Structures are given as C-alpha cells and as structure tokens.
Amino acid sequence: MLDLQEPKSKKPADTAFKQQRLPAWQPILTARNVMPIFFAVAAAFIPIGIGLLYLTNLVQEFTLDYTHCKSIDSIYDTRSCADIIGSNRSMSCHCSIPFKLDEDFSPNVYMYYGLTNYYQNHRRYVKSRDDFQLLGKLSKTPSSDCAPYDYHNNKPIAPCGAIANSLFSDKLTLMYNERYVPLLRTQIAWKSDKNIKYQNPEHSKGNLKEAFKDFEKPIDWRVNIWELDEENEFNNGFENEDLIVWMRTAALPDFRKLYRRIDHSKEFKNGLPKGNYKLMIDYNYPVAGFGGTKSLILSNTSFTGGKNSFLGYAYIVVGCCCFLLGLLFLILHIKYKPSASTGDISIVSPSTSYQ
C-alpha cells in the first residue's frame, strides 16, 4: 500500500510576528511635525557655513601666472619660454618674474604649482601605471596598462606609464630682496602614500643607480630616477615626494599640487614679509600646446585647510533652503489648520492576521 502523506501547509505559523500582530509605529508626516526638522537643519547649517567662510577668509593666497614668461637667456633674445620649449622639448629655458606681496603671510606658508586645462582624470591616463612596480617589485615585464610608455630602447621603463612620464619638471626658486627663500622638498606627500604605496627596491641598499641599471627612465624625463633630488639621497627613486604628489591624479582639469614648504626655522620664522620678490624658473614643462597655463601659488592654511569657499556657501545655501521650506510648511499649517489627531505619531496595533 502506498503511504500517502498530506501536503505540507504553506500557511505561516500562528505567531505574532508572522501573523503581523506586533505593535507598530507609523509616522504621519504633516506640516506641523516636518517644519521643526527644517528649522533645526537651517539653525545648524547656516552658522556652520558662516564659520567656514570666516575661516577660509583668514587664509592668505597669492597667485602668479608664469606661462608666457620671457626668456632671460641671451641666445633666445626676448622670446617666451613657452614658444622655445614648444618648438623643441629637449631645449632649456630660464626666466624670472618680479612680484610684490602687499601683506605679511603668516606661517605656515606653502608653495604650489597650478595647472589648467590638464585632464589628469582621463580614464586611460589614470590607468597608465604599474602599482606593483611602484612598490619596488621591479619586473622586466611592466604592466600592459603602461603602454605605450612601457619600453624604451628595448628596456622596460621605471616608473612606467603616462602619469609618471608626464611628471611636472619645472624648477621654481623664490627670492626676497635678492636672497633665496629656503624651501623644503619633504613632507609634501601623503604619509600613506610615502610609507605604503611607494617603496624603492629592497636590494638597492642605498645604491639606486645599480638597482635601476636594467631599466630606462621615462621618455620625457631629463634626469634619471636616482637624480630627482640632488640634495637628499633618501628622497629619490620611487620614494621621491615630487613624484608621489604627481602620481595622485587630480579629479578636475584645473588643479594645484603642493610643490614646496617654506622653511620657517631661521630667517622666515615669522612667515613671508611683505615686499619685493622674484620667481626664478627653469622652464621645462610645456602646456601652451594644449591651451593650458602654469602658475605659482603661495598660501597658508586654516583649521579647515586651504582657501576654498565652496563648502561654506554650500552649507549656507542648504540652510536657507531648509528655512524657506520650514516657512512654507508653517504657512500651510496655519492656513489649513489640520486636526490634532492627524499631526501625531500614532501607535497602530493591527488586528488583522493573514491566514
């Protein structure tokens, strides 16, 4: 005989949870209970925005565009360095621009270079690197993402890729009343990048030239990777901070990157005094060909960082919008006078169960 079993019931178990008999709360959003939320947001955001604008206005900043500075080399007459470098990338050009600071810059003062119309956020450009190589794991076969900047003269390139190949190469020197302003080349990169993402080969043991003997420098570089910093041997190779700063690509086509820190330990311990200055430039980096510009930026910082008013205005705009919405709901509440029962958060105890 066949043992026929009854089919298993699909009915939920008779529990308060499965039969939806648990007490539930259900907020009823009306003008009366929504408008306090908007007023509270406005009361918080508007003062924060005003505070951020106040702090960013404390930041001092000076910008000097040097894209078309005139050559001071006698062989070039008065041609601009942009034209000279544009006609022959391998040539060198030197120029200087006098400028004046109208106010004292309080410490700490930072020196940036700014570039415009430069799309570091291009998808292929961002991918054109070998992170494994930058960790000091040198390989005779660079990542395919580096192409076409992966081999040169039948040797692998280190560091490979379009980002490293386009490293900013201008040398900027600052003078105050014919005296050089001391600049620091270290502590300009993120600590996480410096300590984790970029490492020299383990077998270099202080001899980077030997470690990179089987590799070519990037095609557009004028110096070898072990010569990026002539004064500090520990700031060379993949651990060079100028390289690390450049390798962190910018999100927008107009950007600035930290170039140097002003040394405040001696003569300029009180910051940069107002007066006459001169920017001396070893002009090596072409930007005029794609309609870009280059500039020097001197700036100090506040509690919120550099000079940037966007965040302050954003808080104020959001706060004002919330305040206006709160007023709108207040008018609706007064005009239509909803009953008290519709403005409360009620407790609902469903009595219906689903069998």
Residue 128: pLDDT band (50, 70, 90) is: very high
204-241 burial, b for 16+ CB within 10 Å, e for fewer?
Answer: beeebeebbeebbbbebbeebbbebbeeeeebbbbbbb
**Which carries the bigger pLDDT value, residue 343 or residue 171?**
171
Distance CA 79, CA 285 (A): 16
Where in the chain are the domains? Answer: 24-49+312-348, 64-300
- The answer to whether the CB of 158 falls within 8 A of the CB of 215 is yes
Above 50 in pLDDT, residue 148? yes
**pLDDT for the residue numbered 173:** 96
**pLDDT for the residue numbered 4:** 56
For 161, phi then psi, to 5°, come to 105, 165
- Residue 202 Cα distances to 78, 119, 120, angstroms: 49, 34, 30
User: For residue range 243-281, what is the model confidence (pLDDT) as tens digits?
Assistant: 999 999 999 999 999 999 999 998 899 999 999 999 999
**pLDDT for the residue numbered 344:** 46
**pLDDT for the residue numbered 229:** 92
Q: Does residue 10 sit in helix, strand or coil? A: coil
**pLDDT for the residue numbered 2:** 53
Q: Which two tokens stand for residue 154?
A: 């039948």
CA angle (225 as vertex; 224, 230 as ends), nearest 5: 80
**pLDDT for the residue numbered 130:** 95
H-run or E-run covering 34: helix 31-57
DSSP bridge partners of 298:
62, 111
Residue 343: pLDDT band (50, 70, 90) is: very low
Region of poorest pLDDT, from 56-70, 272-286, 339-353: 339-353
- Residue 327 Cα distances to 28, 33, 181, 345, angstroms: 19, 13, 56, 22
User: For residue range 67-112, what is the model confidence (pLDDT) as tens digits?
Assistant: 999 999 877 677 899 999 988 888 889 999 999 999 999 999 999 9
- Residue 270 Cα distances to 103, 108, 112, 130, 242, angstroms: 13, 9, 20, 43, 26
Summary mean pLDDT of the chain: 88
For 278, phi then psi, to 5°, come to -145, 135
For 209, phi then psi, to 5°, come to -60, -40
Q: What is the chain's Cα-based Rg?
A: 31
**pLDDT for the residue numbered 5:** 61
**Which carries the bigger pLDDT value, residue 190 or residue 207?**
190
Region of poorest pLDDT, from 90-94, 128-132, 168-172: 90-94
